Amino acid sequence: MKRQDILSILITFTVGFVAGIYVYVTGFVPTIATISTPVAQSVDELVIVSEVYGGCGSSCPSYQVLENGSYRYLYAPAFDQEQVLQTGNIPFGLNRDLRQTLVESQLVNQSRQTTPALCESFSGGIDVRYSIALNGTEYLLDTCGTAVDTNSALWQNLERVWAYLESAGNSAR
């Protein structure tokens, strides 16, 4: 091999390595930067994990609320900005109302799989997914794929949590 061939191979390797790092940092890392249920959680506790997906891309917010009302809220203050993790406790009344509406029959009905004709996320809009672990059972409620009832007390209280966290996030800026 000539010296020029070795130099060409090294330059190709370096450019490929740098491109690989760039793709990893900009493509893969944002897709795994969401809040998930901690593995060490007791199965008897309540854990609600919610995430928005669709048109917001890699800056979609997500939150986690535990049985005691503590939360972790991951959001981007503005489009194309780094995501911020905010922690705290939701108000007692909101936590109480939320826990009262977490009825097993409602969770079972609203987590039934459906085949939607059209989802908001298909056309640049956003959809919301809730993973609710209650008494050792996990329920998945998704605006695109399960039979959610957006007029139910359960859904309204889940939306109130979003509204509270968004207002808390805005006041923290």
The predicted structure's pLDDT at residue 141: 93
The predicted structure's pLDDT at residue 76: 82
The predicted structure's pLDDT at residue 132: 92
* Per-residue pLDDT tens digits for 35-86: 554 544 444 478 899 998 888 877 888 999 998 889 999 888 776 778 888 8
Q: If pLDDT is split at 50, 70 and 90, which confidence band does 129 have?
A: very high
The predicted structure's pLDDT at residue 56: 80
Nearest to 111 by CA among 149, 75, 163: 149
In the predicted structure, residue 127 carries a pLDDT above the cut 70? yes
The predicted structure's pLDDT at residue 112: 92
Residue 41 or 167, more confident: 167
The CATH number of 35-172 is which of 1.20.950, 2.40.50, 3.30.1490, 3.30.1560?
3.30.1560
Query: Angle of helix 92-101 relative to helix 153-172, nearest 10 degrees?
Result: 150
Name the average pLDDT for the chain.
Answer: 82
In the predicted structure, residue 139 carries a pLDDT above the cut 90? yes
* Per-residue pLDDT tens digits for 9-36: 888 988 888 887 777 766 665 555 555 5
pTM, to two decimals: 0.70
In the predicted structure, residue 140 carries a pLDDT above the cut 80? yes
The predicted structure's pLDDT at residue 116: 82
Residue 20 or 109, more confident: 109
Domain residue limits, the chain: 1-32, 35-172
